[in-house]
Amino acid sequence: MSSLAAKEVLVDRKAPLHLYAQLQHGLRNLIQTSFEDGERFYNEVFLSERLGVSVYTVRRAMAHLVTEGLVERRVAKGTFVRKRRRGRQGTLALGVFLAVLDSSFDGTVLHHISALCGERGHRMHVYYIHKGVKTCSTR
């Protein structure tokens, strides 16, 4: 298990983003850069004490990481990193529906969403109307 430096996972109590979301983001980056698939991850009490946040905040961030499939909890054993998807058939897909796709802002937002989907191994389908024609784009 890698040692946790508090500087690796930063939380800013004055930031507009919830503490659990900041923690989730920091832990996700830590998992991706410092842990191997199957390696045991830190427990909630350790993270709480080390990072100066409540156990509830850590628990909420960890629940989101479990949902993302980055960690798995095993009863009486601990939390383990899951970089490779196990036992999952198919790929998750996100559908984006736009009435009209006509601005560079729309394209920029879609590009960022598509990049996030790609990082997580998901597909994205965009449904929109362009020049009066219904269109579907898969990324």
109-123 pLDDT tens trace? 877 787 777 777 777
43-66 pLDDT tens trace? 999 999 989 999 999 999 999 998
Is the pLDDT reported for residue 25 higher than 80? Answer: yes
Cα–Cα distance, 34 to 26 (Å, whole number): 12
Pick 6-81's CATH classification: 3.40.30.10, 3.30.460.80, 3.40.140.10, 1.10.10.10: 1.10.10.10
Residue 87 pLDDT: 46
Residue 54 pLDDT: 94
β-pairing, 40-41 vs 71-74, is unpaired
Higher pLDDT, 39 or 109: 39
Residue indicated by tokens 């946790």: 4
Give the angle 79-123-100 at the CA atoms, nearest 5°: 130
Residue 92 pLDDT: 72
Cα–Cα distance, 58 to 26 (Å, whole number): 11
The answer to pTM > 0.95 is no
Weakest-pLDDT range from 21-25, 62-66, 83-87, 106-110? 83-87
**For residue 90, what pLDDT band results from cuts at 50, 70 and 90?**
low
Residue 1 pLDDT: 54
- Burial code (b: 16+ CB inside 10 Å, e: under 16) for 86-116 equals eeeeeeeeeebeeeebeeeeeeeebeebbee
Higher pLDDT, 50 or 4: 50
CA distances to 11, 24, 60 from 78, rounded to whole Å, are 24, 18, 16
Give the angle 32-74-26 at the CA atoms, nearest 5°: 25
Residue indicated by tokens 């191997």: 36
Q: Where in the chain is the domain with CATH 1.10.10.10?
A: 6-81
